[in-house]
Amino acid sequence: MNKETLIQVHERIQPYIHRTPVLTSELIDDICGTKVFFKCENFQKMGAFKMRGAANAILSLTQEQRNRGVVTHSSGNFAQALSLAAKKIGVKAFIVMPENAPQVKKNAVKTYDGEIIECDSNPIAREEMAEKVRIETGATFIHPSNDDNVIYGQGTAAIELLEDYPQLDYIFTPVGGGGLIAGTILAAKFFSEKCKVIGGEPKNVDDAYRSLQSGKIEFNESTNTIADGLRTFLGDRNFPIIKEGVEKIIRVEEEEIINAMKLIWERMKIIIEPSSAVAFAALLKDKEDYKNKNVGIIISGGNVDVTNLPF
Amino acid sequence: MNKETLIQVHERIQPYIHRTPVLTSELIDDICGTKVFFKCENFQKMGAFKMRGAANAILSLTQEQRNRGVVTHSSGNFAQALSLAAKKIGVKAFIVMPENAPQVKKNAVKTYDGEIIECDSNPIAREEMAEKVRIETGATFIHPSNDDNVIYGQGTAAIELLEDYPQLDYIFTPVGGGGLIAGTILAAKFFSEKCKVIGGEPKNVDDAYRSLQSGKIEFNESTNTIADGLRTFLGDRNFPIIKEGVEKIIRVEEEEIINAMKLIWERMKIIIEPSSAVAFAALLKDKEDYKNKNVGIIISGGNVDVTNLPF
């Protein structure tokens, strides 16, 4: 892994992604006591940064592999991302989803021509079903976050942010499966002399925080957080990167997530999902530690049911 | 009035406004069958285009006039805009508001150091109170929409849009008091060879539509629309400009406004107020007439109570 690889990844996925805007707000800066730069991946295709990693993973396949398609298990943004990236690249996508997944999420995948295969609603069932599909169809399995090419793809958001604002002292990202923060750590390492990466994580699913303490991958007892994109856990590909490169992980309460989300909606006039608010909530919580700095925040996505809000 | 005046206006207000971004969406383009360019004045300072006109009106005053302050009557975005522009320029702002205006709107004005003077909740009472304040304080009265300098200021959003996308065939704006559409008509006249301006208006408050038909300023019997920024009527400064220059006004139902607003929230991931959705609703309604064109839409503002949505 080196800088040149990341540059190639970024070039390769260009036709399939937006270069998303970076927004700022004097009022948010005043509240935080620091300069904040929001990288708006909620404006990314299909509404989340996951499009970057999905596109890169498919583009990394040989033509023969592409002919047999790709398979993943996800009921969230990666399901949509892999479906859309596959559609644009001309590849078949099989998406393993729990049978009780919300219909709106199933519909989103269908919009992008992903083929849904239902399974029981537990981690073992979905992994078994994905393996079954892989064997039967010959499709290549692509993990939503624990895959080198996915990690490199997710890192391209931070590359763009650092190209636009090389003066950044910190980049905050939410931590769920670990793909975004691992990619961001690689980008900061190769595209900045000084930029450190900080993770925001809901206290109720603080597996990454605990994994850093224990030195091995920990799991969550509960998935009780509004930040539904962050209920997953780390893997053997991204954990070593995170362990080596992350500055720290800040844990936030559910109420802090909701307040941060509402503040962004009201003041920035952009729609972000609860998982995205976690990184900003982390900055708000420890803002005294980041006075008069330049802080980038990756707004990871904007896919939220606007008819069912937490405020 | 000429192009040079508008250029000077634009230069003059630069330090007090954002050059707002223009967003696009393939999905919206597919739905409309045309290329749509959203000029995001919801990202403007204080959350609406009104900042432009307010800043220009104050900057047009002599130093002696500035020393005595400004006064307006508004319970909406212009109240906030005049307060903030006055604060930034170092001028006192008196804001006449109905005593029953929502506390959240009063608070917003106070945030920007505007001094609120309450009055009874009817058009005559607010005009009388504004006149009383004007006489007692010597402050200059600035009308929210029927004022040449306000109109010129509002036109600068379209100037920026046409600078970024000179190929535009049409610009759609909502029609309320008439300041935005009049300014946009002037901008299109001087900054484009071909761009026509179209207004969107709620059918329930279609005074501008009827004024164009009758040739004189008409009023609304009711103010029963969710588009609370568009309940006002035209004036003798902006109506002649609109009458001469507007291509047409398209009227939309309340349900169409809400559906257009929800579509923008869900697909563009930006927060727009109902009044902003009216212009897009007008395009959606008559989209067959605008196939394969380049259409600009001025998203007028994003000040909405996110805890009380119509969907």
Question: How much is the pLDDT for A260?
Answer: 98
Q: Between A and B, how many CB-CB pairs are < 8 A? A: 42
From the list A268, A271, A311, the residue facing B265 with the nearest CB is A271
Please say whether the beta carbons of A42 and A276 come within 8 A: yes
Question: How much is the pLDDT for A102?
Answer: 84
Residue A76 backbone phi and psi in degrees, to 5: -115, -145
| Three-state SS at A234 | coil
**Could you count the other beta carbons within 10 Å of the beta carbon of residue A66?**
19
Question: How much is the pLDDT for A123?
Answer: 83
From the list A262, A270, A309, the residue facing B270 with the nearest CB is A270
**Does B306 sit within 8 Å of A309, measured CB to CB?**
yes
Tell me the β-bridge partners of B299.
B40
CA atoms of A281 and A300, how far apart (whole Å):
13
Residue B293, pLDDT > 90, answer: yes
In this prediction the ipTM stands at 0.92
Residue located via tokens 């890192």? A155
Measured N-to-C along each axis, helices B148-164 and B3-13 cross at an angle, to the nearest 10 degrees, of 90
From the list A262, A270, A311, the residue facing B269 with the nearest CB is A270
Per-residue model confidence as pLDDT tens digits over A94-111: 999 999 888 888 999 999
Question: How much is the pLDDT for B123?
Answer: 83
Question: Which residue is catalytic, options B60, B74, B75, B300?
Answer: B75
Tokens representing A51? 């499009």
**Does B270 sit within 8 Å of A269, measured CB to CB?**
yes
Expressed in angstroms, the distance from the first to the final Cα of chain A is 43
Per-residue model confidence as pLDDT tens digits over B54-93: 999 999 999 999 999 999 999 899 999 999 999 999 999 9
Mean of per-residue pLDDT scores for chain A: 96
Where do the domains of chain B lie, and which CATH numbers do they carry? Answer: 3-48+148-299 (3.40.50.1100), 51-141 (3.40.50.1100)
Amino acid, single-letter form, for residue A216: K
Per-residue model confidence as pLDDT tens digits over A3-50: 999 999 999 999 999 999 999 999 999 999 999 999 999 999 999 999
Residue B105, pLDDT > 90, answer: no
Question: How much is the pLDDT for A105?
Answer: 86
Question: Catalytic residue at B75?
Answer: yes
Per-residue model confidence as pLDDT tens digits over B174-233: 999 999 999 999 999 999 999 999 999 999 999 999 999 999 999 998 889 999 999 999
Residue A216 backbone phi and psi in degrees, to 5: -135, 160
Question: How much is the pLDDT for A1?
Answer: 83
